Chains A and B, each alone.
Chain A
Amino acid sequence: MSDKKNNTKIEIDDIRKSFRNAKGAELPVVGGLTLQVMDGEFVAIVGPSGCGKSTLMNMIAGFERPDSGQVRIDGREVTGPSPKGIVISQHGSVFPWLTVQQNLMFGLRGTSHAETKEERMALADHYAAMVGLKGFEGAYPHELSGGMLKRVELARAFIVKPEILYLDEPFSALDALMNMKMRNELLRILAEERHTVLLITHDVEEAIYMADRIMVLSPRPTKIQASFEVDAPHPRRLGDAWAQEMREAILRELGL
């Protein structure tokens, strides 16, 4: 879609990870996974529950180290989490003791986007408005609905202008209607501010609706089993024939 696509943003190079269970037996979870994500690309990774999706995401985002192999971003090995790539996960991590505005300002303390408090407040208000939270800047998270909480989380991520967004089943705790609404919201913001996105999900339709490329994971120890390109322009219609066919094909890969 753009000229930036020529550069590789994320390189996942044959990473492996095992855990020990209670009896001390080795349990391989990720078994030699390789993947490249281009700058500005939206890649979805689809896998069955319990196949090691979250472990995979933790390694890519830097919260865990692989036993072997490497994750590189812009050619540099990932050794820990950084504001370069912000994680948004199912249960969210909006701080319940901070107001919406304080939550949005929080992330800015780790960046150089806003030096003064006034600048941080102005940016927070701008991003709150962008996700439709105008008028709720002073509200505490427990006063908000699940959908609005997700908006806070998105705004808190976008405000630090991360180069990469890691979405780990971001909307699966929402009801079906809100889930679809948030997909559109996310695509709208991504059209305004380009980011590289890595989405991990068990929801095949979510992947088809949003991603440029879909990778299907194998059961444990997981690796990439199949890959699908999605060329259709946005907004996509999941009822279209191509989408239905792709859904069938992906589900077949998943053994359904």
Chain B
Amino acid sequence: MNSTTTTPGWARALGRLLPPLAVIAAVLAVWWWSVARSDSPIFPTPWGVVTGAWELVEDGSLWEHISASLTRVGIGFGLAVLVAVPLGLWMGWVAGAYRTLNPIFQMLRPISPIAWIPLAILWFGMDDISPIFLIFISSVFPMIVQTTSGVHTIERRYLRAAANFGVPRGVLFRQVVIPAVLPEIIVGMRIGIGVAWLVVVAAEMIALRSGLGYLIMDSRNAGNRYDLVIASMVIIGVIGLLLDGSTRLLERLKIVKWRYVR
């Protein structure tokens, strides 16, 4: 659509930003008003959350918790990508591999990662390996499934063209199969990183001494610091948004742009 001549760009940007900002403002207002009215001794006002968060920034513990959580997600998710993409491509391409492995993956997939926590503690103890394992388990299956279905939905005309030109197998994979599936792999990564972020917080609540999940539980246990609980929740939300945004940036790569135009 062409830009209209009457409204300048900044005005239209404002028009798009204003409604969501208004919703956030309304939520804050209702929150503030109810806390003020109920006179709760524990539940903080929005301003209480801000000062609480500032405390954590000042003593440096916030960064430690954030980087602990992000490191776990980075390692667990990275390993999941390394396993899921080749495995998904193989299962998509080789019908026998699909028939053999798909049933067990379909059965493991709906098990909540939280259900694995006891086993993770049993196998890996109470240190960093457990949450990394949980993140791996939670993000590897959606990425396998997405990659496999990406191979299955490659348009036949492209595979036929490749067959027609009689190119070697390596060229077929590098120049046809993998680029054709790449958009689906990116979708899988978006799902995977979203689940990974959900899981790391849950895992840290139970088994660990660091991370944003631990921060939430610790704040509650150490004297009902609900201002810190809510501050952590907001930070978790913002980081989740940033993680999703950064995987969305992959969709702008030139090699996958064909999928998002038209």
- Give me the interface of A with B, judged by CB distance under 8 Å: 61, 63, 80-83, 86-87, 89, 91-93, 95-98, 102, 106-107, 109-111, 140-142, 160
Contacts and interface: CB of A to CB of B under 8 A. Distances in A.
List 7 A-B pairs, minimum CB-CB distance, nearest first.
A96-B258, A93-B161, A110-B166, A97-B179, A107-B165, A110-B167, A93-B157
B59 to A, nearest CB: 50
Count chain B CB atoms within 10 A of each CB in A80, A86, A89, A107 and give the residue with the most: A107
B167 A109 contact: yes
A97 B261 contact: no
Contacts of B180: 97
A89 B180 CA distance: 20
A241 to B, nearest CB: 40
Nearest to B261: A142
Given A140-B258, A141-B258, A98 B166 contact: no
Query: Which residue of A82, A96, A98, A111 has the most chain B CB atoms within 10 A of its CB atom?
Result: A96
A110 B176 CA distance: 14
Contacts of B101: none
Contacts of A87: 160-161, 164
B163 to A, nearest CB: 5
Interface stretch (B20-28, B107-115, B196-204, B249-257): B249-257
Contacts of B171: 106, 109-110
B168 A98 contact: no
A89 B182 CA distance: 25
Contact of B255 (A81, A86, A97, A110): A97
A207 to B, nearest CB: 23
Contacts of A109: 165, 167-168, 171, 175
Given A61-B164, A98-B179, A106-B167, 6 more contacts: A93-B157, A93-B158, A93-B161, A95-B158, A98-B175, A142-B261
A106 B257 contact: no
A142 B161 contact: no
Contacts of B161: 87, 93, 95
Contact of B176 (A80, A92, A95): A95
Contacts of A110: 165-168, 171
Interface of B: 157-158, 160-161, 163-168, 171, 175-176, 179-180, 182, 254-259, 261-262
Contacts of A89: 157
Given A63-B160, A89-B157, A109-B171, A142 B165 contact: no
A89 B176 CA distance: 18
B174 to A, nearest CB: 10
Given A86-B165, A106-B165, A142-B261, A97 B256 contact: yes
A8 B165 CA distance: 23
B252 to A, nearest CB: 13
A86 B254 contact: no
18 contacts: A63-B160, A81-B160, A81-B164, A82-B164, A82-B166, A89-B157, A93-B161, A95-B161, A97-B179, A97-B255, A97-B258, A98-B175, A107-B165, A109-B165, A109-B168, A109-B171, A140-B254, A140-B257
A187 to B, nearest CB: 23
A95 B257 contact: no
A92 B164 CA distance: 13
A141 B254 CA distance: 12
B164 A86 contact: yes
Nearest to B155: A93
Contacts of B176: 95
Nearest to B178: A97
A98 B171 CA distance: 13
B164 A83 contact: yes
Contacts of B261: 142
